[in-house]
Amino acid sequence: MSDSLKTLIGFINQYAPFNQMDDQDLGYLLENCVLSYFPSGTEILSPAHGKVEHFYILKQGEVRGERTALPQENANTTFVIGPGDCFPMAALVGERATRTTHITTQDTFCLVCAKSIFVELFTRSSAFRDFCLRGISSLLDVVNRQIQSQAQVALSDHFSLDTSLLTLSRRRPVMCSPDTAIREAVRRMHEQGVGSIVIAGEDAIPRGIFTLRDLRRIVADPRISLEGPIASVMANNPVGLPAGATAFEAALTMAKHHFAHILLLENNRCVGVISERDLFSLQRVNLVHIARTMANAPSVAALADMQDEVGRLAETLIAHGASADQINRLITLLNDYTTRQAIRLTLKTQHTSDIQFSWLSFGSAGRKEQTLLTDQDNGIVFVSGTDPDISRQRLMPLAKQINDALAQCGFALCPGNIMASNPQLCRSQPEWHQWFERFIDAATPQNLLNSCIYFDLRVQWGDTSLLEQTWLAISERLRQNTLFQRMLAETALQRRPPLGLFSHFVTQKSGGIKGIDLKKEGLSPFVDAARVLALAHGISETNTLSRLRGLEAAGVLESPDVNAWVEAYQFIQLLRLRWQLDALREKRSPSNLVAPELLNPLDQRILKEAFRQAQRLQRKLAWSYQL
């Protein structure tokens, strides 16, 4: 092998997909490439050139890509191609002209090969073929594998939360009839070495379940005879999931209900039992234990002590292949347990039991998109008597104590005072209704900003029905008011992804550090656009990805676009989680501010693409309202 070929292999091996390809395939590619020089300002490719006949790998310099605006876009799409990037795969695969004009912005060198070489490589290399067909998705797969692999090194565990429950269930369930004696049922459990027995009739439809935890309870009760029927001590109506459900769904269900066993059902018949131990490799990811401990914490101090477990759980979930959305949902679930227990503990010291109220969450908590860095955005809705001011005055000390308890647990007090201890956010049902109506009727800049915060809401504790009718009425009013939607869209478009001319990162300085705020600048364009479109089309979901999928199901957005936006959003969210975990490991305060130069080249490349996808979604929003 010549020195020049070795140099080229060393260069190309730094970039995807070439670093995933066999040396033989790389050698074939490079032996059939020519290093070509293009002066600054050269138009390498354009739609006018006709069907593409060459494949290009940029070695040195820079190429600007420009695409003429599509009907739904009000501006040209402009991006930059740097060293290691290749083009134009889609045109070569489709055997057509490129839709993008490629112009050098400086003196540039490219490795160029004929279309026939591209076709042969496409046939020979699965890694290259996957990259050409899937583009950014294949790069995300590479990143996710790297992240998972790094986390698994510490955990030495290769379990995936996407695993089917039927795969995990390695044996038939141990079952007995409702009239079986307790002693006999326990004997069967002991002989089979299981921690549970399913009580069912001949039809195998489960009536109940009995576990070792139940056994400890009845042994301690002298009134219960072990000769009595198992039906008298079983847990009725056991929770079940379809056998095709995933380990993640089982984990979420266990954590919500504090169960350690889930039934697998086919046609309502029990075909298996999954335990917490089955799910999490001898309980290395003890989600159910964490949730149960939080839900029963005896004090706010004990509750605060549990918060470190959430970070460790997040890292473990990454190792298990969980997506950013799954991790967000689990963190939100645990934060809900913290909030609810903080409320219950506070209620023991406050005398407000005669006032019916519910605790509201706004913002990321309302969307179930919380990470390891979160502040408080909450409020109270209450059922008042004749004078709501009297109820409000009585609830204020309670709200203040709850806010302080949550702050002790790591949920920072909101700098903007968007908290239940603010009398403006402790309102009766009619007052919330009137306040939301004012947002729509008087669309001032402040009311538009309020809409972006308070229209992502859910009941976090208490009776969910207290706001249901109000929100149904407000949602219908929003759906019919296109002028307000347009103004809300204008507000959403004020926050642009941090890409400058030719797709260079635009950084800001905060706390002496220059970087990109992944929450405000990276995620908010997706969140804000999805909110406007969802409200406009009557989508009731508040979660951003659920809103996008709902818009897809309603025919408002096309599936390829939604898939791209979901992938981009999830990458930014996962990068944000990784950045926060790195800070916690290094005993630093977690932050949303990321310095792009500290990211590896692959992360930088995908982050730019993710921001470009945010720009596309904003163009869709702008086109929808002719902005």
Beta-bridge mates of residue 516? 594
What is d(CA 544, CA 521) in angstroms, rounded to the nearest whole number?
15
Angle in degrees, CA 574, 580, 581, rounded to 5: 90
Beta-bridge mates of residue 210? 197
pLDDT attached to residue 152: 47
Confidence of residue 107 (pLDDT cuts 50, 70, 90): very high
Query: By C-alpha distance, which of 543, 133, 498, 198 is closest to 366?
Result: 543
Confidence of residue 183 (pLDDT cuts 50, 70, 90): very high
Q: Of residues 5 and 547, which shows the higher confidence score? A: 547
For the residues of 153-217, what is the DSSP string, one character each? Answer: HHH-----TT-BHHHH--SPPPEE-TTSBHHHHHHHHHHHT-SEEEEE-TT--EEEEEEHHHHHH
Task: Note the CATH number of domain 165-279.
Answer: 3.10.580.10
Span 141-159, mean pLDDT? 48
Angle in degrees, CA 18, 19, 20, rounded to 5: 85
pLDDT attached to residue 70: 46
| 357, 381 Cβ separation under 8 angstroms | yes
Query: By C-alpha distance, which of 105, 142, 162, 122 is closest to 19?
Result: 142
Do you know the residue count of the chain? 627
In angstroms, how far is the first alpha carbon of the chain from the final one?
58
pLDDT attached to residue 71: 45
Q: Which two tokens stand for residue 327?
A: 């991790």
Query: By C-alpha distance, which of 11, 19, 53 is closest to 128?
Result: 19
Q: Is 240 helix (H, G, I), strand (E, B) or coil?
A: strand
Instruction: Check whether 503 has a pLDDT greater than 70.
Output: no
What is d(CA 304, CA 407) in angstroms, rounded to the nearest whole number?
9
Long-range contacts of 382-388 (CB under 8 A, 24+ apart): 382/355, 382/356, 382/357, 382/358, 382/426, 382/427, 382/428, 382/429, 382/466, 383/355, 383/356, 383/357, 383/428, 383/429, 383/466, 384/355, 384/428, 384/429, 388/427, 388/428, 388/430, 388/431
Span 546-550, mean pLDDT? 95
What is d(CA 451, CA 457) in angstroms, rounded to the nearest whole number?
10
| 76, 122 Cβ separation under 8 angstroms | no
Sheet holding 43-45, edge to edge: 43-45, 101-104, 63-67, 77-81
Instruction: Check whether 123 has a pLDDT greater than 80.
Output: yes
What is d(CA 387, CA 389) in angstroms, rounded to the nearest whole number?
5
Question: Which CATH class, in words, describes the domain spanning 3-134?
Answer: mainly beta
Confidence of residue 280 (pLDDT cuts 50, 70, 90): low
Task: Dump pLDDT digits (tens) for 71-105.
Answer: 444 435 567 788 888 898 878 877 888 888 999 99
Task: Note the CATH number of domain 490-624.
Answer: 1.20.120
Looking at residue 291, the DSSP 8-state letter turns out to be: H
Contacts of 427 (CB under 8 A, 6+ apart): 379, 380, 381, 382, 388, 392, 435
Q: Where do we find the tokens 């302080």?
A: 404
What is d(CA 140, CA 300) in angstroms, rounded to the nearest whole number?
40
Span 285-303, mean pLDDT? 80
Instruction: Check whether 134 has a pLDDT greater than 80.
Output: no
- Positions of CATH 2.60.120.10 in the chain: 3-134
Instruction: Check whether 272 has a pLDDT greater than 70.
Output: yes
Looking at residue 82, the DSSP 8-state letter turns out to be: -
What is d(CA 200, CA 264) in angstroms, rounded to the nearest whole number?
14
Global pTM value = 0.66
Task: Dump pLDDT digits (tens) for 158-177.
Answer: 445 677 787 777 678 899 99
- Positions of CATH 1.20.120 in the chain: 490-624
Q: What percent of the chain has pLDDT over 70?
A: 90
Q: Which two tokens stand for residue 317?
A: 């979930």
- Positions of CATH 3.30.460.10 in the chain: 287-480
Task: Dump pLDDT digits (tens) for 379-399.
Answer: 999 997 778 999 999 999 999
Q: Which two tokens stand for residue 226?
A: 């072990």
Contacts of 135 (CB under 8 A, 6+ apart): 89, 90
| 506, 608 Cβ separation under 8 angstroms | no
Fold of 287-480: Beta Polymerase; domain 2 (3.30.460)
Q: Which two tokens stand for residue 229?
A: 């029927």
Confidence of residue 208 (pLDDT cuts 50, 70, 90): very high
Q: Which two tokens stand for residue 4?
A: 């020049």
What is d(CA 316, CA 308) in angstroms, rounded to the nearest whole number?
13
Instruction: Check whether 421 has a pLDDT greater than 50.
Output: yes
What is d(CA 253, CA 260) in angstroms, rounded to the nearest whole number?
10
